[in-house]
Amino acid sequence: MTWLRRLKPDGFLLAIITSAVLASFLPAKGLGMTVLHGASTVAIFLLFFLYGARIAPREALRGLAHWRLHLTILAFTFVLFPLIGVALRPLSGTWLSPDLYAGLLYLTLVPSTVQSSIAFTSIARGNIPGAIVSASASNLLGVFVTPALVVLLMSGHGGMVVGLDSIVDIVVQLLLPFVLGQLSQRWTSRFVTEHKSPLKLVDRGVVVLVVYTAFSQGMAEHMWSRVTVAQLLVLIAVCLMLLGLMLAATWFVARRLGFSREDVIAIQFCGTKKSLATGLPMAQVLFATGGIGLLVLPLMVFHQAQLMACSALAQRYARDPEVVAQ
């Protein structure tokens, strides 16, 4: 059955969940935790170097002619999403623990996905070049914008500390390798293009490693004792409502602004995504002074929800081209 296939988690998410469960029962400790932190630091540096080596600024500049489309998508990703995250602050300490709310707020600050945004736009017969440029631009800007938003909106909340040490870590572990990757494209672009599949495994392996490190650290801080089953259920409900709200908002605003059917599809699928692959390693760097086990949980929940919902929408749009125009 088609709907059952959509409910099945993707392999990447299953690997992440397995890593989180393993860390909850067999967390790294002592020397093992020290080695794991060192390995995570190196892996995150490599990950953002590869991001820089992949994203070609020339391609983004070439597609900027459709600036209204790209500005609309970026506004949803880095303006409306964060505003909603801030508006949900009353949930902290009431319906959600401070850690879970911090994770929910962080979820709204990360950039869009690249692969799934483009894939769903393609399935739905939307503006594929526009989706490529917008999704790439989101990740390009996210390396700079997401840390800035975290400093602006999260520093001091729930014990989160984003001080000078964290800013130095951002520069060294995120911005420096990204810039080096951009500068290396003359020598590395062919390699990363010809080895997409194995390098994709490297990307995912880094994220799984980060999750295991985060949950191991969280277990040392007794993270599961700070949250109840009821709060986890509320978190799932809030993530689903947030996704539904953004899907409706992107569709409504894009149509009101007079975009074509193809552009509406690109705006909806790029403007509602949040990147697990980028967000988790960023969190490891941004919140290095505190456990991030519960903080990354909302992003994991939202990731699966967005895959299920957008898969269903993309197939519906592909079957009935008139749906978006109605």
Q: What is the pLDDT of residue 1?
A: 46
Name 116's Cβ contacts closer than 8 Å, sequence gap at least 6. 273, 306, 307, 310
- In the numeric block, the tokens 């969190």 are attached to 283
Question: Does residue 117 belong to any structural domain of this protein?
Answer: yes
- The reply to whether 136 falls in a domain is yes
Quote the pLDDT of residue 120. 87
Provide the domain limits for residue 52. Answer: 28-319
CATH number for position 234: 1.20.1530.20
**Distance of alpha carbon 11 from alpha carbon 133, whole angstroms:** 26
Domains: count for the chain: 1
Is 5 within the bounds of a domain? no
Domain presence at residue 2: no
Cα 53 from Cα 47, distance rounded (Å): 10
> Does 183 reside within a domain?
yes
What pLDDT is stored for residue 163 in this prediction?
Answer: 54
Question: In residues, how long is the chain?
Answer: 326
Q: Is residue 166 part of a domain?
A: yes
The torsion angle over the Cα atoms of residues 9, 13, 16 and 22, rounded to 10 degrees, is 10
Distance CA 322, CA 325 (A): 5
pTM greater than 0.85: no
Residue 23 placed within a domain: no
In one-letter notation, the amino acid at residue 309 is: A
Residue 207 lies in a domain: yes
pLDDT of residue 60: 55
The rounded average pLDDT for each run of 10 residues, N- to C-terminus, in the chain (326 residues) is: 52 79 86 85 85 70 73 96 96 90 94 85 86 83 88 70 62 80 86 82 82 80 80 95 97 94 94 88 77 82 88 85 61
